Each structure stands twice: as structure tokens, then as C-alpha cells.
Structure 1
């Protein structure tokens, strides 16, 4: 085994260079994405748990908003909080009234004798 020749060449070694970090303007912010889509899901599904989770994400996004994000002209995080509050209100609203049966339909099933 010691007679094998080492094929690595020192002149071909390339030192590692870390990639530059993404700029705040181009990076995708998952927290703001969740803060803007969860309220819509909560209103569509009328689910209170999703509505409260959307409020949590919206408040976290609002508190972690940087001046660079504000300067980039994106939607202010306070709008996400407002939208989440509206989703909570909508999820607690009563649903549409159900139609009252008038008796004009099929007769009720009779028990077998």
C-alpha cells in the first residue's frame, strides 16, 4: 500500500472562501410571510387557533422589524398585526344561519316494526 503514488497536487488546492451573507433587501423573511398568510387561512377556515397563531407571528414580525426593512418600502409590520386582529374577530363571529326545514322535503324515516 505504501507504494501508491499520492495524486494530489499542491498547486491545484483552492482555499475555501465563505459566500457573502445575503442582503436584507433580497433575503426572504419567513416570519413576515407567515404573518401575512396565516390570517387569510384563519379567516377562510374560521379557525380560532390559526387566528391566534397568526397574531403571534405578526407581533414577532413587528417587534423584529429593522430600519432597513422599513427603508426598503415593504409593507409595515404593523399592518400584519392589524390583519391578524381582524382574523381573530372574524374567527369569533357567528356563522351564516342555517336554513329552517319547512317540511316540504322527503318525509322523516319511520322506525321498522
Structure 2
């Protein structure tokens, strides 16, 4: 029985299509900081906030606010390039919303006191 088991194992090894001399080990790609995608959400947030302030469009301001929150949630550890930090983008979006809604808030308080 041992001779038949040895014959079976030798036939299995000869029928094995894998070739150890053709094995290529996996090496993960090395990513550089320069290869990362730019912060598109932060750019859209700043553009929407500036356009919303200039044409006084609240829809643009709210879109900018949503994109700034998304930029903050997706920030990297090495953030802080040309666009600034995502926290600054959120503060800019909030201040632009406040500046747009301020005349109505002041008119509301002036009407209550009168």
C-alpha cells in the first residue's frame, strides 16, 4: 500500500501545473503625496460660497456648506496645502451663510422691538 501511495503522490506532483520558478511575489505600490488627488470637495465648497456671496444665492451657499462638511469628513492626515484646512472651509461657509441671512434676522428683531 505504501508503494501505491508513493506512486499516487508522484503522479500528483508531476501533474501540478504550478511552477515554482515562475512565482512573482506581490509588492504593493508605493504612493507618494504628490500622486494624491486634490481636495475637489474643498475647492467646490469655496467656489460655491464665494459665488453665493457675490450673487446672493442661498442655494449656492448651502451647496458650499455641504461640500465643506464633506471635505472635512474626508480630510487626510497630511492636509493643509494650497486650499487651507477643511476646518477653515467650514468656517468660511458658515460665515457666508450668516452674512446672507443677517438682513432678515435683523429685520425680524427690528420688527419685534418696534
Q: Give the TM-score normalised by structure 2.
A: 0.55
| Greater share of helix | 2
Residue from 53, 65, 70 that aligns with 1:60: 70
Gaps of 5+ in 2: 1-28, 105-114
Provide the alpha-carbon RMSD of the alignment: 2.7
* Structure 2 SS opposite 1:28: coil
Give the corresponding residue for 1:46.
56
> How many corresponding residue pairs?
75
Q: Which has the higher contact order (CA 8 A, sep 6+)?
A: 1
Runs of 4+ in 1 over 3 A off after TM superposition: 20-27
Q: Give the TM-score normalised by structure 1.
A: 0.55
Shift of 1:21: 9.0
Gaps of 5+ in 1: 1-19, 96-113
- Structure exhibiting the larger radius of gyration computed from Cα positions: 2
